[in-house]
Chain A
């Protein structure tokens, strides 16, 4: 089994892009993310941030740059390592 096949098993939803969450209680509106990944992070007025929690993989480099640049480290991007997704999310 190749590594990518392994990842596919572990991470069935990677094909749906990456997962991002910004802790807006930490965010102070420095807008560094909106500079570096303008398609995923947008300033709403001078200080308020809105973001795409599920940007497509084409934006991965920009989003990682944005997350690293956050002066208050408020941006969490899904770790690439395996995740136990509740595939069988049912009333079995």
Chain B
């Protein structure tokens, strides 16, 4: 099934994403060293200012920071060390939670983010595309106008603000659902039914805020794609041949879906960004919440570590989408130049 051309395409994409990853980590490396005002030395002097409180721990953290950033060594040694560490998954030591490793802190929060982000993104994508296609198919009816108008407004609502509105309406006013966390306070995570229900109740509001506001954009895009497709030659030709509307719509839907898959790959980053902030609004114990804590305490090794992981996962997801695209698009599957 996997043709030579398809493998070549995937290899090219992989190479591109790998180079991009190295460029991105280089930027992560360069930023603290080129931004004026040198935030690291700032952080060091901050640390020594509070050193009276707990001199031993602070000095240890200071040493760790020096070592983490390889300050004092020539820049190219620092750079090679940084890249090789990043590729091996060694992300250094956190300052706030000294002496815990950054990776050990990120690993437990990642599943919460994935559990929220992946289903929400997929559901929004599927619902949005279906709605948009239906609207285009019924162009200029009240269905179309309703979908378009709603989508234009809804697509511009930041996830986190919709989250605030949901918290206020369903949590504070109607008291239907919990307003923060991933499970009730004091509950110990376990594999029981009651814990599952508890998690689910906490999950509904952040999930819905992402789904609802992400859906609009997909609907707008899909509507446009389907309108374009409906005006294309093969549709007119099929109509003159007397092919049923249902079948034509199926073809059109499939063809319009391809650009939407590319669109999904391209907007992964902004979806992730929005979801991270939504986590903060909900005090949801995911990566966004951890990042927020790291940002407020200027825990630079942790900030860098989170970014190296997040950027890598965006590229990985990109590659997955490329793979799906290659499987779905016959032009790549049979090796025709797209």
**A and B bind:** no
